[in-house]
Amino acid sequence: MLRLEHNKILHNDSLERKQLSHVGRIINLPQEISFAVIVDDAINLVAGRITKKQVAVDIQPDLPEVYCDRVRITQVLQNLIDNAVKFMGQLYGWGMTH
């Protein structure tokens, strides 16, 4: 019985290690979620910069459900939105409406 528990612990440890990417980041399990929720999360994370730059952000209604790593996709969108706001107007004086 003790051997069985030891093997179970080793198996669980192995599964946890498989959840790590090649650069050591934890890979979150994908989930089905509204893309609008992900966009809202990302916008809330950069709300300070958006407010400071007085940027209007419009989100298209009825965004689809997506199956993804919510945390990672939120980080990607956060980075894209943050960069768009940060560098907005530096080249052509454009505003951002999203």
Q: How far is CA 63 from CA 37, 39, 55, 80, in A?
A: 9, 10, 21, 18
Is pLDDT above 60 for 10? no
Contacts 24+ apart (CB under 8 A), 22-27: 27/69, 27/72
CB 35 within 8 A of CB 68: no
pTM for the structure as a whole: 0.65
Q: For the chain, which domains are there?
A: 27-87 (3.30.565.10)
| 53: amino acid identity, one letter | K
- Say what the pLDDT of residue 26 is: 72
Q: What is the pLDDT of residues 35-59, one digit of tens each?
A: 999 999 999 999 999 999 888 888 8
Backbone angles phi, psi at 31, to 5 degrees: -145, 160
